[in-house]
Structure 1
């Protein structure tokens, strides 16, 4: 079945591009529209109702662009708003949750770490997931300040290194063997994290799993048969950081939404 409509992807900023890249790599023929709500980043410090409102605003924008499927490329928006989105809109949604399950199942030390936003760690959906793995000790750490530094293009800054060391050192001392990245911004920090944690600690994010789920949904609603697949990127702040993190010659449009 053919379906030329685009896939919509939104995040509270540039972090969801880590998810977008996995989707684009797996499904290069699909046209994609990426929405970076950087003006309101980070979502992780906002109330549940505000996260729901922003997620609906982003969804309305993408549906106006005729999207056939919407990827919520934000852990905080998924864990706080996806139930409401699925209730309100008649379009498939794919969310992103911290990959607790593979970490807990494969952990040898029975101790895993998760670095995520306050909004994700405090959500009902996240707490339901962690309850399933009560035999595993899960060390939770809110990544205060990390999203803001990434959004400001300060991934390699001394401030970033200092924050990461303060968050990761207690996990290392607790003998974690898996580190779950519970925010779509955080995969961009993997090179910095690798300098801090021992080699035996595995890092898990959800990007490839989301791309595979997108592929599964497209089997039901249709793939793009053609080559009209130039991705479109929108941001409501200065597009410079988004352009830098994407690399290549992608066009980023600044638009108030």
Structure 2
């Protein structure tokens, strides 16, 4: 089944581009439209209703662009709003949740760490996921300040290094052997995190799993595109400088009032 309409992807900022990259790599013939709601980042500190409202606003924008499927490339928006989105809109949604299952299943020390936003860790969906692994100690850490530093273009700053040390050292001391990144911004911190973690601790994020699920839904329900190297479209409602840097200046980014 062929369908050349675009895939819509939204996040509370630039972090979801880590998900976009995995989708773009796996599905190069699909046209993608990425919406960065950076003016409202981070979502993790907002109320559930605010997150739902913003997610619906983002969805409305992408549906106006004729998107055939929407990827919620934000853990906080997925865990707080995806049920409401699926109930309201007649379009498939792909969500992103912390990859607790592979970490808990494969952990030898039965202790894993999760670095995520407050909104994700407090969500009902997250609590349901963790309840399944009673035999595993799950160390939860809210990544206060990390998203703001990433959005501010300060990935390699001393402030980032200090924050990461303070969040990760207690997990190292507790003998975790897996670290789950529970925010789509955080894969951009992997080089920094690797400098702090001992080599045996594995880092897991959800990007590849989301891309595979997107492919599955396209093939089974929506239809795949056969466009030849379509140019992705990026929108942001703040200064596009940091988004352009994350994309290595390869693509154009349009700043919009949104």
Alignment TM-score > 0.5, same fold: yes
> Does the Cα contact within 8 Å between 2:10 and 2:37 map onto a contact in 1?
yes
Tell me the SS of whatever aligns to 2:140.
Answer: strand
1:11-52 CA-partner distances (Å, limit 9, x unpaired):
000000000000000000000000000000000000000000
Aligned position for 2:86 = 86
Aligned position for 1:256 = 257
Give the Å deviation of 1:226. 2.1
Aligned counterparts of 1:10 and 1:249: Cα–Cα separation in 2: 19
Aligned position for 2:123 = 123
Q: Structure 1 residue 232 and structure 2 residue 233: aligned?
A: yes
Aligned position for 1:146 = 146
Aligned position for 1:99 = 99
What stretches of structure 1 move > 2 A for 4+ residues in a row?
A: none
Aligned counterparts of 1:178 and 1:226: Cα–Cα separation in 2: 39
1:104-129 CA-partner distances (Å, limit 9, x unpaired):
00000000000000000000000000
Aligned counterparts of 1:207 and 1:22: Cα–Cα separation in 2: 6
Aligned counterparts of 1:246 and 1:57: Cα–Cα separation in 2: 24
Aligned position for 1:13 = 13
1:127-167 CA-partner distances (Å, limit 9, x unpaired):
00000001000000000000000000000000000000000
Give the Å deviation of 1:225. 1.5
Tell me the SS of whatever aligns to 1:213.
Answer: helix
1:203-239 CA-partner distances (Å, limit 9, x unpaired):
0000000000000011021111222611000000000
Aligned position for 1:59 = 59
> Does the Cα contact within 8 Å between 2:31 and 2:227 map onto a contact in 1?
no
> Does the Cα contact within 8 Å between 2:28 and 2:229 map onto a contact in 1?
no
1:84-105 CA-partner distances (Å, limit 9, x unpaired):
0000000000000000000000
Aligned position for 1:50 = 50
Aligned position for 2:165 = 165
Q: 5+ unaligned residues in a row in structure 1: which ranges?
A: none
Give the Å deviation of 1:248. 4.3
Tell me the SS of whatever aligns to 2:30.
Answer: coil
Aligned counterparts of 1:101 and 1:245: Cα–Cα separation in 2: 29
Tell me the SS of whatever aligns to 2:71.
Answer: strand
Tell me the SS of whatever aligns to 1:128.
Answer: helix
Aligned counterparts of 1:147 and 1:244: Cα–Cα separation in 2: 16
1:46-97 CA-partner distances (Å, limit 9, x unpaired):
0000000000000000000000000000000000000000000000000000
Aligned counterparts of 1:229 and 1:117: Cα–Cα separation in 2: 33
Give the Å deviation of 1:256. 1.2
